[in-house]
Structure 1
Amino acid sequence: MALLASILVSFLGSSSAPTPLYAVYQQHWGFSPITTTVVFGVYAVAVLSSLLIFGRLSDQVGRRPVLVTALIVQALAMVAFITADSVGALLAGRVLQGLSAGAAVGAIGAGMLDIDARKGGFLNSFAPLMGTASGVLASGLIVQYLPAPTRLVYAVLLGVFVLQALAVLALKETVSRGPGALASMVPEFKLPRSARTPIAVAAPLMFAVWSLSGLYGALGPAITRTLLHSTSVLWGGLPLLVLALSAGLAVVLLRRATTRVMLPISISTLIAGVLITLLSIAWGDGGASSAIGFFVGAAISGVGFGSGFQGGIRLVVPRVESRERAGVLSLLYVVCYVGLGLPAVIAGVLVVYGGGLTRTSEEYGAAVIVLALAALTVLVLSGRRAERRQETSPFQENAVRVSEG
């Protein structure tokens, strides 16, 4: 369990490690803000492609072969970053990173659930957030205070991935191999019947909270530089760090709460945090007060992120069989990474060709709020349907289903 959780932490840590470095790359290579969001978004596209192709593979061939291969590809991505001397090389590293992460996250999550369903469910929510936070923090500190800022953090991660690959070779397999490996690599959105309604409820909220992560990851460094008039990479990575730490704390504090309690908390804090963030950007004076408001908004939004992510996983995963877990988890991550990548790329285009940083941030935040309200609507409607079904007899329940159909 500890090994699998550590791999999830290191994978998400490596994905967020470039965030504080974007300003350094931009200074060295002279690219525009839109290039930053493309580099950010191409990772999400690679993850999505890999999830669709390899997301269910570990259900057929076992968790261990998928994880060893993913760790080797992740190590190659670190080599690409270490030797990168252009935007093209940076994009190649992000593609390798994304392909590796997409293949691994479903296998890791399903493997932890195979070992212990309760602890696995908690770690599936907690580990990615701690990985995001640790990646941003470690990268920022290394870039700010240690030599070879664009290489050292990747060298450290390379060593971690090699050690983890060796450890996985000694890991006991948690599922038996079965036929259909090649068929599992054909992209499809086939869902177990038991998971369809929960995913309909969870998907809008998980899309919204990961869109929020895209806001702080892609635009956070530029917003912080504007508010604080500072070029420090530590300040640039701080918004995503605050969001991830707050989300992780929410996962710990709400780990025993029911999804009926968790999801409304997520939606309300998400909306409140984004509103505070937008007010700080739009009405602030560009000094300390607006910066404080921005980070307070990030912290409150983080509660919504953590509780929404955990609530979505707990709403869906317990309803499926062990041989369906990797596929269902991969589908949830597809929703998450579409939310992470697509709005961020659109935001980069709008920053350059639209209304600039402030207006784009306001539009992005408003879109997140609309998504959160859509999730609330779906949650309320599904709750009312459940209550109606509980109050009807079997004959009446069938009649309700026919009328709804």
Structure 2
Amino acid sequence: MASVTALRSRRRLPVLGRRGAFRLHASALVALLAASSAPTPVYALYQAAWHFSAMTLTVVFSAYVLALLVALLTAGTLSDHLGRRPVLAGALVAEAVAMAVSAAAQGVPELIAGRILQGLATGVATSATGAALLDFEAPDRPGRAAVANGIMPVAGMALGVLASTALVQYAPAPTRTVYLLLLVLFIAQAAAVRLTPETARTESGTWRPVRLLHLLRPTITVAPASRPGLALAAPGIVAAWALGGFYSSLGPSLARLIAPHAAHATGGLVFFTLTAAAGLAGHAARALPARTVSLAGAALLIPGALLTLAAPHLHSLLALFAGTALAGAGFGGVTQGALRLLLRPAAPGERAGTLATYYALSYLAMSIPVVLAGLLTNLYGLQTSVALYGATVVALTLTGLIRAAHLPHKA
């Protein structure tokens, strides 16, 4: 990376230093994931106003995730070739447009359109932002960027659902206010990104239409040195994100099933509990070996899922929130350990692609089970759907832990 001093001499705009650029990109990652979780408490208002089923709710949720997957698989490596700054600034502007579409939604089709645009923008932005954090990492603090990539997304999801829950409870026009606030934030961040140094080694001719089409071909890219870590962490990643998708989309419905007369904010606090516990666990485990953190996190998913399964039978919100907190701690451990296993060995030109593959695997695991859960809920009821979902996560986690025990320790 060229020095900040040299870059300042070449540009008319003021340039943020390494520390400021790191903080800006960390805040962008938080905002992107906050926007992804912010609709969770609002879904109940949409359901009440537009009278749609749990299956429709999971379709709305999955439209965002599937669009994000398309972006990750086609545009996840763009910032490695076109530069971090133009790719991220453009994605943040697109994110702001998505917030405007969602704020103006008058029905399910418009809501799905806003979520699709948001998913595309988020997929492009998250891989570019995560790679930029690695680029701006202080040399005297190695590993800080991998920790930030693990903590900031779950911190963002926690902040988004908490802020949205408060706005739903107290703000006027709750189905619009949260989106408008995020719109302003994304425009401000897009402008600020223009003040950061460019860290990617851009290639000549990459903006030509033929070259761009070539870059946008669907690809799965993992740094060769990161592949053993992916082999170790993949089952835990799938189990953790599948469970995260359940709490995000159906957690509020489960809270209402257990306690129909509880405050409306209770449903939103389920997902907040998951993400807050994940953030705290990831921060607490940052100094432990990555392999240990990843496997211990996967192990925690099992009691978390089982306690959540028991909550409807016990008619206990306490059991639901306790199970959610355990699952969240496991989620945080899995993501923290997995990202450290993947990102530390990756070379600078392989970072965005490796991150895009991680997110693609994560969101694929998050979306497909949730759609199936929505279908099962329509056919057999929420309680049966929860039981099948939880049992599947437990089985997958156990399989992953048994498999990890037979992998070489250097993985």
**TM-score relative to the length of structure 2:** 0.90
Give, in angstroms, the shift of residue 75 of structure 1.
0.5
CA deviation map 1:257-297 (0-9, x unaligned):
0023212311221111111111122x21x2xxx11011000
SS at match of 1:151: helix
Which has the larger displacement, 190-199 or 166-175?
190-199
Matched, 1:209 2:240: yes
The residue aligned with 1:254 is 285
Aligned alpha-carbon RMSD (Å): 1.4
1:274 to 273, 281, 305: 305
1:365 to 390, 394, 409: 390
Separation in structure 2 between the aligned mates of residue 378 and residue 184 of structure 1, nearest angstrom = 35
Aligned residues: 380
The residue aligned with 1:403 is none
Give, in angstroms, the shift of residue 231 of structure 1.
6.3
Q: Name the structure where helix makes up a greater proportion of residues.
A: 1
2:151 to 111, 126, 138: 126
C-alpha change, 1:79 and 1:248, in structure 2 (3 Å) is: same
2:200 to 162, 175, 184: 175
The residue aligned with 1:46 is 67
Give the residue type in structure 2 aligned to 1:205: G
The residue aligned with 2:175 is 150
SS at match of 2:408: helix
Separation in structure 2 between the aligned mates of residue 156 and residue 189 of structure 1, nearest angstrom = 35
CA deviation map 1:88-138 (0-9, x unaligned):
000000001100000011111110011115211111011101110111111
CA contact (8 A) 2:65 2:119 kept: yes
The residue aligned with 1:338 is 364
2:78 to 57, 65, 77: 57
Separation in structure 2 between the aligned mates of residue 333 and residue 109 of structure 1, nearest angstrom = 11
Give the residue type in structure 1 aligned to 2:136: I
Matched, 1:306 2:332: yes
Give, in angstroms, the shift of residue 31 of structure 1.
0.7
CA contact (8 A) 1:271 1:369 kept: yes
SS at match of 1:311: helix
User: What is the 5 A alignment of 1:3-402?
Assistant: 3-116=24-137, 117-179=142-204, 182=212, 183-230=214-261, 232-281=263-312, 283-284=313-314, 286=315, 290-353=316-379, 355-383=380-408, 386=410
Give the residue type in structure 2 aligned to 1:345: V
CA contact (8 A) 1:21 1:233 kept: no
Give, in angstroms, the shift of residue 228 of structure 1.
1.3
Separation in structure 2 between the aligned mates of residue 165 and residue 230 of structure 1, nearest angstrom = 42
Give the residue type in structure 2 aligned to 1:167: A
Structure 1 unaligned blocks of 5 or more: 388-405
Give the residue type in structure 1 aligned to 2:123: G
Separation in structure 2 between the aligned mates of residue 151 and residue 162 of structure 1, nearest angstrom = 17
Separation in structure 2 between the aligned mates of residue 5 and residue 233 of structure 1, nearest angstrom = 31
CA deviation map 1:364-383 (0-9, x unaligned):
11111112112212311213
Give the residue type in structure 2 aligned to 1:98: G
CA deviation map 1:10-40 (0-9, x unaligned):
1111111110011100111111111101101
C-alpha change, 1:279 and 1:77, in structure 2 (3 Å) is: same
SS at match of 2:407: helix
Give, in angstroms, the shift of residue 178 of structure 1.
1.6
CA contact (8 A) 1:144 1:232 kept: no
SS at match of 1:166: helix
Which has the larger displacement, 194-203 or 146-155?
194-203
SS at match of 2:395: helix
The residue aligned with 1:399 is none
Separation in structure 2 between the aligned mates of residue 71 and residue 28 of structure 1, nearest angstrom = 30
C-alpha change, 1:231 and 1:98, in structure 2 (3 Å) is: farther
Give, in angstroms, the shift of residue 45 of structure 1.
0.2
SS at match of 1:68: helix
Give the residue type in structure 1 aligned to 2:149: N
SS at match of 2:96: helix
Give the residue type in structure 2 aligned to 1:214: G
Separation in structure 2 between the aligned mates of residue 42 and residue 73 of structure 1, nearest angstrom = 16
CA contact (8 A) 1:8 1:105 kept: yes
Which has the larger displacement, 178-187 or 318-327?
178-187
Which has the larger displacement, 101-110 or 262-271?
262-271
Structure 2 unaligned blocks of 5 or more: 1-21
Give the residue type in structure 2 aligned to 1:24: L
CA deviation map 1:186-213 (0-9, x unaligned):
1122433222222111221111111111
